[in-house]
Amino acid sequence: MSTIEPIEYNSRLREITAVLRKHNITRGVTPKKLRAILEDLGPTFIKLGQIMSMHSDILPKRYCDELMLLCSEVTPMPFDEVISVIEGSYGRSWKRVFSSIEETPQGSASIAQVHRAVLKSGEEVVVKVQRKGIYEKMARDIDLLHKAVKLMPPISIKGMADLDLVLDEMWSVTRDEMNFLTEAANMEEFARRNKDVTFVGTPILYQQYTTVNVLVMEYIDGFGIDDKEALIEHGYDLKEIGSKLVDNYIKQVMDDGFFHADPHSGNVKIRDGKIIWIDMGMMGRLTEHDREMIGKAVQGIALNDVGLIQQAVLAIGEFKERPDQRKLYEDIEGLLMKYGNTEMGQINVAAITTDLMDVMKNNKIKMPHGLTMLARGLTHMEGVLANIAPDINMVEIATAHMSGEFFRNFDLKKELKSSGKSVLKSFRKALDIPSMVSDMMSGYLKGQAKVNLDLQVTDELARLLRRLVRNIVMGLWVMALLISSSIICTTDMTPKILGIPALGAFGYLLAFLIMMYVFIRHVLTRKK
């Protein structure tokens, strides 16, 4: 912030204040009001709102739904500024790299805009140019928004998360998106991970012409995935496209842990029988542990197993305080009851993901950033599928993908009905029993295991139970001593006392002393 002039800083602060007053922020912030405020504040705040819409695990669903309606198209940057950014990045005239650049952009977003162009070598490309000074402007706006949050009355953000924390996370994501070298690296990694997938492609990256502020890639002259009429006219099978799209997306998520976080229809093209993924400025990452827990949650949904889903949620979630597991169990059980009678092929992934996020929010469990991005991605994927191939279901394909050879050998949809669900569920739980017992015994031997009983009893009853348990233990000791001593006395073990083996006599004596101790303690207790 040291590079920002105080005059400019104060001027922007007055603009923000004026917008907040215009919308009567002191009377609270409704979802529609928040969207209107962000649109009035300009491109940088629109981008922030779009990122905020991914945080369904933090923000109320109604806020996220409204923020997803933010217009992605903003006023284009003047062409002379486009040229200025390009030449400033290259340190030379743009004409030494390009034969031509179309003045009218193909798209203009909050951070950058895209122009068609032709390289001097003749290749048709698109040039993604970052808005001039956008980094400094957004850094200033973020800082000012932090200040604005402090001025908001507590009632206006009731039920919402710590907005300062959310802003910090959003700024981190946006910084990455504003570095086009990061997007270029994403494109290269994505191409490498999908090189063996015959039906998937990525635009050619012209690394030599790519900088922090300018990205040059191949122009994709294909069909939009939502252009159904054109696809059918050219002989494409929409159901096949949808199946391959979902299968590849599940691969990205579950196999690679590196997935497209913004897979709306505008970022997916069809060309020469291949699915071309574009715009990789926003990519999600999942750890191996996260992917394992997601797999467990999907299995839990397929088997209608509340406990399995609960395990996954507790293992993958982030929380400051220990959650009420009983409440969490009941909430997940209610969720499954809502979808329990729904066949696999009819489950709406976006809906169930949203509901699960609500469950986690209600139980104060925060999802890792990768999962919030995945939730948004799944919502977009459901939207694409609903348009081109509504009969395709992501849960079904995901379960088949993760189940490997076992599920490939039979009809998944048929097996997961009626008794098949119960058999698979019981089989899974049976396999878990030995490991659970082993873990319990190991913990006990290490002194780490304990049993928690929530009993509502009086103090008198508690004392009675303690005496009862103590007397039973003492009785068992006496019984063991008498039996073992009697066995010893039948032998010729030496030394002997009065013709009785000394060890046996000692056992009798110890048993007698224990009996006397119990008797005397019982008498004294009754007197009290």
CB distance 275 to 199 below 8 Å:
yes
Model confidence pLDDT, tens digit, residues 103-130: 999 988 888 999 999 999 999 999 999 9
C-alpha angle 399-403-405 in degrees, rounded to nearest 5: 135
Specify the pLDDT at position 168.
76
Residues across the chain? 528
Q: Identify the CA nearest to 224 among candidates 276, 172, 302.
A: 276
Question: At 162, is the pLDDT very low, low, confident or very high (cuts 50, 70, 90)?
Answer: low
Is the pLDDT at 212 greater than 90? The verdict is yes
Question: At 406, is the pLDDT very low, low, confident or very high (cuts 50, 70, 90)?
Answer: very low
**Position with higher pLDDT, 199 vs 30:** 199
The H-or-E segment that residue 140 falls in is: helix 134-151
Specify the pLDDT at position 93.
96
Specify the pLDDT at position 47.
75
Specify the pLDDT at position 90.
96
**Position with higher pLDDT, 387 vs 487:** 387
**Position with higher pLDDT, 310 vs 52:** 310
Model confidence pLDDT, tens digit, residues 299-357: 777 677 888 888 888 888 877 677 788 888 888 888 888 776 655 556 666 677 777 77
Question: At 186, is the pLDDT very low, low, confident or very high (cuts 50, 70, 90)?
Answer: very high
Average pLDDT of the segment spanning 189-205: 96
Q: Find the distance separating the first CA and the last CA of the chain, reported in whole Å.
A: 76
Specify the pLDDT at position 404.
55
Q: Identify the CA nearest to 298 among candidates 197, 219, 398.
A: 398
According to DSSP, the residues that pair with 205 across neighbouring strands are: 217
According to DSSP, the residues that pair with 269 across neighbouring strands are: 224, 276
Give the start-to-end residue ranges of the domains of the chain: 6-74+134-177, 79-130+181-219, 229-416, 426-451, 459-527
CB distance 140 to 148 below 8 Å:
no
CB distance 110 to 58 below 8 Å:
no
**Position with higher pLDDT, 164 vs 182:** 182
Q: Is the dihedral of CA 494, 498, 499, 503 positive or negative?
A: negative
Question: At 410, is the pLDDT very low, low, confident or very high (cuts 50, 70, 90)?
Answer: very low
Specify the pLDDT at position 113.
93
Question: At 390, is the pLDDT very low, low, confident or very high (cuts 50, 70, 90)?
Answer: confident
Domain 79-130+181-219 has CATH 3.40.50: no
Phi, psi of 260 (to 5 degrees): -70, 120
pTM of the model: 0.68
Is the pLDDT at 411 greater than 60? The verdict is no
Specify the pLDDT at position 96.
96
Question: At 2, is the pLDDT very low, low, confident or very high (cuts 50, 70, 90)?
Answer: very low
Average pLDDT of the segment spanning 255-269: 92
